[in-house]
Amino acid sequence: MKKIMSVLMVLMVAASAFAAGQQEAASSEASFAGNYAFGGSSTVEPIIRAAAEEYAEIHPEAKISYDAPGSSAGVRGALDGTYSIGAASRALKDSEIADGAVPTAIAKDGVAVVVNSASVPMDDITMDQLIAIYAGEVTNWSEIGGPDATIVVFNRDEASGTRSCFNDATVKTAKKSFTETAAIVTSNGDMVAKVGSTPYSIGYCGFGYLGRDAGTKSVSVDMITPEVSHVLDGTYPVQRDLILITNGAVPAGSLEEAFINYILSDEGQEIVAEEKFIPLNS
């Protein structure tokens, strides 16, 4: 018993020393010291995480964290103060701009259509077929020249900017709406993981996630392959700007301003390219 007590005592002392050390570390003087919570789109997540990691080398005292509950939550979070910077992979709605959301574009991205590579032989589908699949009018691959199997449709959650962008460019153009029977996934990574492991499935994800999962392959839409050059010349139909959102203009001299400027700098845009998104200046 004595032994246990002494062990406990030692642990307590160690823990308090640990906590004290932390406090000291936190109180070291620096302009940007503190914890910063950013959050929003899961598409933008890799850019922010990588940029934050690089940024930590310049300002180690600023601890930046990023949550990825989706674009809409990102905009809302930026407006209600949960996040000091929100991120979205869709354009802002008028109501959001009216509430004071200020967007800053940091990259371009396309949304690619992916299918399960082992079971779906097609490498190209037309826009009409894509709309029909996502509106729930075509439910079997044989109807569009594939094998006789039910199409497993994966869609993103309502908060997703990728979903809203995909919706605008596909089913909405034909004045239809998404099928209700699609299985819902909550992030781009989740999407490729599910499509890669589910036979006869179809889904969509940002270009940055192509090739992440060996079981998926991207298909071209109307013979236009999902490539950076096709986004830049405007031929690829599903594309968007990735934006950071602040509540009102960014205060001068704040970490938020410095961080946004860092992403817009040459170095930051190189990170955008590293994460397989399209830099603004390209």
Partner 1 sequence: MSSAEVLNPPVSKGRKEVVSSPQSRKLRMQEKVAKGIIWGLAALTIAILVWIVGYLMVKGLRYNNMTPYNVTPYVERVIDLDGTEDDLVFIINRGVREQDIEVDGLRTLFNKRRNENWGFYNEQNLRAQPVVNENAGDFSVQVKDFILAGEDLDDYRGYVEKASSWDEVISYVGGTEGAIGFLPASEAADLPRDVKVLGVRRKAIAVNPSVLMIKDSRMLRELTDKQAEKIAAGEVSNWMEVGGTDLPLTLLDSENIEVNMEALQSTEGAVMLTDYRYVAEYGVRSVPVLRHETGWNLTWHFITEAPARSGQWGGISYIIINTFFLILFTILFSAPVGVMAAIYMVEYAKQGRLMRILRMGTETLSGIPSIVFGLFGFIFFVRILGMGIGFISSTLTVTLMVLPTIIRTSEEALKSVPQSFREGSLALGATKLQTIIKVVLPAASPGILTGIILAVGRTVGETAVLIYTLGSNYDLVSGPSSSARVLSLHLYMLFSEALSFDRTFATGAVLVILILLTNFSATFMMKRMNKNSGM
Residue among 6, 9, 10, 11 that touches partner 1 (CB under 8 A) = 11
23 touches partner 1 by CB under 8 A: yes
> What does the alpha-carbon distance between residue 144 and residue 138 come to, in Å, rounded to a whole number?
8
266 touches partner 1 by CB under 8 A: yes
Q: How far is CA 244 from the centre of its chain?
A: 12
State which residue, 89 or 103, has the beta carbon closest to partner 1: 89
In the chain the beta strands, taken as DSSP E runs, fall at 34-40, 62-67, 85-88, 101-116, 124-125, 152-156, 183-185, 201-206, 216-221, 239-247
Report the site for partner 1 in 149-208 (rule: CB under 8 A): 187-190, 192-193, 196
Residue among 34, 100, 123, 282 that touches partner 1 (CB under 8 A) = 123
> Least distance in Å: CB of 97 to partner 1?
29
> Least distance in Å: CB of 261 to partner 1?
15
> Least distance in Å: CB of 156 to partner 1?
14
Span of 97-105, 157-165, 213-221, 246-254 interacting with partner 1 by CB under 8 A: 213-221
Cα torsion 55, 57, 58, 62: sign: positive
**Burial of 151 by CB count in 10 Å (0-12 exposed, 13-18 middle, 19+ buried)?**
buried
On the CB side of 263, how many CA atoms lie within 13 Å of its CA?
Answer: 29
> Least distance in Å: CB of 112 to partner 1?
14
233 touches partner 1 by CB under 8 A: no
Span of 99-107, 121-129, 132-140, 156-164 interacting with partner 1 by CB under 8 A: 121-129
Q: How far is CA 180 from the centre of its chain?
A: 23
261 touches partner 1 by CB under 8 A: no
> Least distance in Å: CB of 177 to partner 1?
27
Give the pairing type, strands 239-247 and 85-88. Answer: antiparallel
Asked whether 67 and 39 are in contact (CB, 8 A), the reply is yes
> What does the alpha-carbon distance between residue 67 and residue 257 come to, in Å, rounded to a whole number?
19
Residue among 9, 53, 147, 183 that touches partner 1 (CB under 8 A) = 53
Number of residues counted as binding partner 1 (CB under 8 A) = 44
Amino acid making up residue 47: I
On the CB side of 75, how many CA atoms lie within 13 Å of its CA?
Answer: 24
35 touches partner 1 by CB under 8 A: yes
25 touches partner 1 by CB under 8 A: yes
223 touches partner 1 by CB under 8 A: yes
| DSSP per position, 10-35 | HHHHHHHHHHHHHHHHHHS--TT-EE
Residue among 59, 172, 176, 212 that touches partner 1 (CB under 8 A) = 212
> What does the alpha-carbon distance between residue 260 and residue 263 come to, in Å, rounded to a whole number?
5
**Site residues (CB under 8 A) for partner 1?**
1, 8, 11, 15, 19, 22-23, 25-26, 35, 45-46, 49-50, 53, 63, 65, 67, 121-125, 145, 187-190, 192-193, 196, 209, 211-214, 217, 220, 223, 266-267, 269-270, 274
